[in-house]
A and B are shown apart, each in its own frame.
Chain A
Amino acid sequence: MKYINLNKWLEKIEKSVNVRGVINWFTLATGFLYGEFDDRLDLRSALQKVLKKPVPKHINFWFCFGGFTFLLLVINIFTGILLLMYYRPTIDQAYDSIVHITNNVPFGWLVRGFHHWAANIMVITVLIHMLRIYFHGAYKHPRDMNWVVGVCLFLLVLSFGFTGYLLPWNQVSFWATTIGAEIPSTFPVAGPYITYLLKGGDSVGQLALTRFFAFHVVILPWITIGLLSLHFLMVRRLGISGPL
């Protein structure tokens, strides 16, 4: 099969596009849709009720870190789904598919870079967010439940990092996971069993990779989305805590 030459198509489109026409159609279509929906659902007043909430006077830069963390999470969900288009979770192919993404796929290095850096920066922003809550005393009643949900979210961010780190299946992945899985082995009684379960056997192998992958791309994201909804609902219901 011949490969379809994208650039040739883009050139053709470039030549035939009439910018003003595109904008007109765009406004017509959105205006048309919005009007139809607004007519039936009274979107305007619904949106006003939700969006027209004044920001309290005492809000400053430190109140933004929860939002930063959320933005980074959205970036990672997006770039993570893009990585899934090429990543292969088997011990034979995982490393090769990562090298392939980085070297052969157009902009693959960028997608992977975003995923990597957002993952790492997210740990910092979530920690600053927690420090803000701590020093403002914002964890007190009636927001104590939200602190608990927040701690779970923090652990989820770390779990994302731990499970994602194994996926490239290189030396660092393998040994980091081995060490991580060995840590619980010193717990009394249950320790060795936890380690055995985490490693998926006596040493980290295909079973561990498959399960870490399942956790990283399906289980953790959905738990996070659920807890995050709770987190935001509670913030909305209780309002942001007052000035110091």
Chain B
Amino acid sequence: MEEITRKDFLHSTVNTLIGLWVTATAVLSSYAGLRYLWPTEKTAGGPGGNKASFPLTELPEGDMKKVLIGGKPAGIIRLNKDLYALSLICTHLGCIVSWHPEEKRLICPCHGGVYDINGAVLGGPPPRPLPSYEVRLRGDTVVVG
């Protein structure tokens, strides 16, 4: 077998590492690039994207379900057999508010803005109520927007 000198060994190790690094970078950035350009439900939502629907069974009494309307998060709440659909984007600085079933309120985790089930501001810094969406029950399907 041919002798491998220390210098040759180091040379080819470094070259291999550089090669692997370049390949990994190329593969990962092509992957990210392809994902970036590839249309998804959120990015290709054309004019038809302003509606959402799901079966009523997915929304138990007292709970909230998150959907996207025109790419923006909205929450459908089912309370005492009524349905409420609100934008979940806090009108203060745009954090996503969460539903607190015990208090029957929407509370913003960022600066403690509090909204009631109709979106009206009950406390905290939000300057405006949460916008609401039209919501209907069509048979067993909830239709929003």
Contact surface of A with B, Cβ cutoff 8 Å:
3, 6, 82, 85-86, 100, 104-108, 110-111
Chain B, 26-44, CB within 8 A of any chain A CB: 32-44
* Cβ B36 vs Cβ A3 within 8 A: no
Beta-carbon nearest neighbor of A86 in chain B:
B43
Q: Within 8 Å CB of B42, what residues of A?
A: 104-105
Closest chain B residue to A105, Cβ basis: B43
B109 interface residue (CB < 8 Å to A): no
> Is the pair B35, A3 in contact by a Cβ cutoff of 8 Å?
no
How many Cβ-Cβ contacts under 8 Å join chain A to chain B?
33
In chain A, what residue has the closest Cβ to B71? Answer: A104
Decide if A106 touches B40 in the complex (CB within 8 Å): yes
Closest to B48 in A: A1
Given A86-B43, A100-B71, A104-B43: A6 touches B36 (CB 8 Å cut-off): no
Cα(A6)–Cα(B37), bound, Å: 11
Which chain B residue lies CB-closest to A83? B36
| Chain A positions within 8 Å of B44 at CB level | 3
Query: Do A108 and B36 have beta carbons less than 8 Å apart?
Result: yes
B residues adjacent to A (C-beta < 8 A): 32-44, 71
> Complex Cα distance A82/B36, Å?
8
Residues of chain B lying within 8 A (CB to CB) of residue A107 = 32-33, 35-36
Alpha-carbon distance between A160 and B43 when the two chains are bound, in angstroms: 28
Shortest 4 CB-CB distances between A and B: which pairs?
A106-B35, A104-B42, A107-B32, A107-B36
Chain A residue nearest to B38 (CB atoms) is A6
In angstroms, Cα B44 to Cα A6, docked, is 14
11 pairs, A vs B, C-beta closer than 8 Å: A3-B41, A3-B44, A85-B37, A100-B71, A104-B71, A105-B36, A106-B32, A106-B35, A106-B38, A107-B35, A110-B32
Q: How far is the CB of B73 from chain A (nearest CB, A)?
A: 10
**What separation, in Å, do the CA atoms of A104 and B45 have in the docked complex?**
11
Contacts A3-B39, A104-B71, A105-B43 aside, 14 further interface pairs with beta carbons under 8 A come to: A6-B34, A6-B38, A82-B33, A82-B36, A86-B43, A100-B43, A104-B42, A104-B43, A106-B35, A106-B36, A106-B38, A106-B40, A107-B33, A111-B36
Note all chain B residues with C-beta closer than 8 A to A105. Answer: 36, 42-43
Q: Could you tell me if B32 and A3 are in contact, using CB atoms closer than 8 angstroms?
A: no
Contact call A3/B40, Cβ cutoff below 8 A: yes
- Docked Cα-Cα span, A45 to B80, in Å, equals 83
Residue of B nearest to A85 (CB): B37
Chain B residue nearest in CB terms to A110: B32
Whole-angstrom distance between the alpha carbons of A106 and B32 in the complex?
Answer: 8
A110–B32 CA distance with the chains assembled, in angstroms: 9
Separation of A82 and B34 alpha carbons in the complex (Å): 11
A185 to chain B, nearest CB (A): 33
